[in-house]
Chains A and B, each alone.
Chain A
Amino acid sequence: MKIERKKYNATVPSMAMGDIAFLLLIFFVILARVQDDSHIQWEPARIDELDQAKNSKASVIIDADNKAYLNGREVGVASLAGALTEILGESEAGKRTILLKVHKHATATYFEPVIEAISEAGGDLLHVLEDERMKN
C-alpha cells in the first residue's frame, strides 16, 4: 500500500508587495527631485513678500566663501552662462526658472556676474530668500 505524502501549499507571501512598491516609488521620487546642495554653507537675505518657486531647472549658489556652485557642483563664473544654456535647452517660457541662492554677506563683485550669466542664458531668475516675518 502506498501512503501519500501530505502536500504543503507553499506560496510567496504577497502582503508586503504594496509596501515595497510604495517604498520604491518614494525612493525614485527623492532621487529625481533632490539636488544635493545641503553641504553648501549659505544664509539667505530677508524680505517681506515672497513668491513660490515652481519648475526650477537649476540652482546656482554663492556660498559664504564667495564660491559659485551649479546644482551643488563648484563652477567658474566664466563657464556658468554656457552651462546654464545647455541645461535650459529649448525649454519653453515659464519653465526656465533658475534659483539663485546667495549668501547675504556676499558682495556685488561675486553675485552680479552670476546674475548677468543667468540673464545671458535666458533663464528666469528667482532669488531664494527668507520671509522677514519669520525672523524669530
Chain B
Amino acid sequence: MKIRRRNNLLVEPPHSATSDIAFILIIFFLVCASVQPDSGRKQTLPKSEEQPEKKQQSENPEVGVSRDGVVLNGNPMKMERFGSEIKRVLAQKKREVDKVVVLKSKPNTPYERWIEVTNLVQKAGGIITLQLEEQRTVSVD
C-alpha cells in the first residue's frame, strides 16, 4: 500500500513590502494627475512696432472683435460667415506680409470669443497682430 505524504505547509506571501507598494502607487497616481501636459494653441505674434507704416497697414485685413460679433474690414457679420470670408480674403494675398491680420478688440470682448476669432484667422493662414488702444495721459493744471 502506498502512503501519500502530505505536505501542507502554510505558505503566505510576505506582507512587509505591502505598505511600500501602496505608497509608491499613491505617488505614481499623484504624479500622473499633477504633471498632465498642458495643451492649447500656439500663436505667433509679430513684434510690436510703435509706428507701423500707414500704407502697409491699410492693405492688411482688419478684424474687429466685440462681445456681440465680429467685423471684417468694416463689415459686421456672423461668426458662421466670418470663417469663410477671412479665408477668401487671405487667399487673395500672395505675400506673407499681406497675411498679417490687424485685430482690434473692444475692451469688453471675452477671451472665449477672442480665441474663437483668432482660431479662425490662424486656420485661414493669417498672422495676427494686435492693435491695442493707446493710453492717453491728460494733465490738468
Interface residues of A (CB under 8 A from B): 16, 19, 22-23, 26, 29-30, 33-34, 38, 44-47, 49-54, 56, 59, 62, 99-109, 111-113, 115-116, 118-120, 122, 124-129, 131
Write the chain B residue with the least CB distance to A111.
B111
User: A112–B24 contact, CB under 8 A?
Assistant: no
What per-residue 1/0 map shows which CB atoms of B88-108 lie under 8 Å from chain A? 000000000000000001111
Alpha-carbon gap, A122 to B47, bound state (A): 8
Per the bound structure, the CA–CA distance linking A104 and B111 in Å amounts to 5
Q: Are the C-beta atoms of A126 and B43 separated by less than 8 Å? A: yes
Q: Are B39 and A53 in contact (CB under 8 A)?
A: yes
Do B106 and A108 have beta carbons less than 8 Å apart?
yes
A82 to B39, CA, bound (A): 26
Interface assignment of B48: CB less than 8 Å from any CB of chain A: yes
Contacts A23-B24, A119-B48, A127-B115; is A56 near B38 (CB within 8 Å)? yes
Number of B interface residues in the complex (CB < 8 A): 36
Are the C-beta atoms of B45 and A23 separated by less than 8 Å? no
Bound together, the chains give a CA A127 to CA B116 distance in angstroms of 12
Interfacial chain A residues near B48, Cβ < 8 Å = 116, 119-120
Return the CB mask of B21-47 against A: 1 if under 8 Å, else 0.
Answer: 001100110110011011111111111
Residue of A nearest to B116 (CB): A47
Within the complex, which residue of A30, A101, A108, A124 is in contact with B107, where a contact is CB–CB below 8 Å? A108
Residue contact B39 to A128, C-beta cutoff 8 Å? yes
- 8 more contacts with CB within 8 A, not counting A34-B34, A52-B39, A126-B40, are A30-B30, A38-B34, A54-B37, A105-B112, A107-B108, A109-B107, A109-B108, A119-B46
Known: A45-B115, A46-B112. A127 touches B41 (CB 8 A): yes
Q: What are the residues of chain B within 8 A of A102 when measuring CB–CB?
A: 111
The distance from the CB of A50 to the nearest CB of chain B, in whole angstroms, is: 4
With A47-B116, A47-B119 as known contacts, state yes or no: A107 contacts B41, CB within 8 Å: no
B27 touching A26, Cβ below 8 Å: yes
Residues in chain A near residue B45, CB distance under 8 A: 115, 118-119, 125
Looking at the complex, which one of A30, A38, A46, A126 makes contact with B42 (CB distance below 8 Å)?
A126
A108 touching B105, Cβ below 8 Å: yes
Q: Known: A19-B24, A116-B132, A119-B47. Contact between A129 and B115, CB under 8 A? A: yes
